Amino acid sequence: MSIISDFYDRESSGHEAIFLKLSVLPDDTQIFMSILSLYELEYGYANANELIKSTIRAKIIEAQEDFEVLPLSRDGAKIFGEIKQLFKEKRKISSKNIKKHNIDLMFAAEALVHNCILVSADRIFKDVLELNPELKLENWLSNS
């Protein structure tokens, strides 16, 4: 699950922690949602049971109203290529298997380009942080 999905699912184990983190941010804090998150939400909608599609659609609309959507950039593409190559070498992943990490590596590249804090509980970003210490990473689901 993603931070966005957990935030909009009030039954999620991560909802309260994410809500609390957001509630203590200064009022002038800019918060973005990557276009990639929107893509993932739409994929979830497309694969959902018909009985819950209207609920998911409402959450997607709410997320777009709550957060500015950050697009992909040309500068991010360059960083993505560099990070992907380093990540492939670090994890000793085949050219075929590295593809499943593309979206996560795009998230990291765009966070670096825009000097944003990437909020995620995904383990992959700890490896990316080792490869590029300029990545600002926070896990709002951990107690640390």
Please give the mean pLDDT across all residues of the chain: 94
Confidence check: pLDDT of 144 > 80 = no
Q: How confident is the model at residue 2 (pLDDT cuts 50, 70, 90)?
A: confident
SS3 46: helix
Looking at the 3D structure of the chain, how many domains does it have? Answer: 2
Last residue within a domain, chosen from 48, 70, 92: 70
Same domain as 47, residue 100: no
Same domain as 141, residue 122: yes
Q: Print the domain residue range for 26.
A: 1-70
pLDDT digits (tens, 9 = 90+) for 37-91: 999 999 999 999 999 999 999 999 999 999 999 999 999 999 999 999 999 999 9
Last residue within a domain, chosen from 70, 97, 113: 70
Q: How confident is the model at residue 1 (pLDDT cuts 50, 70, 90)?
A: low
Residue 120 class from Cβ within 10 Å (0-12 exposed, 13-18 middle, 19+ buried)?
buried
| Residue 89 falls in which region: left (phi positive, over 0), alpha (psi -120 to 50) or beta | alpha
Same domain as 119, residue 108: yes
* Location of structure tokens 């709550």: 66
Last residue within a domain, chosen from 70, 101, 123: 70
Percent of the chain residues topping a pLDDT of 90: 92
Same domain as 116, residue 88: yes
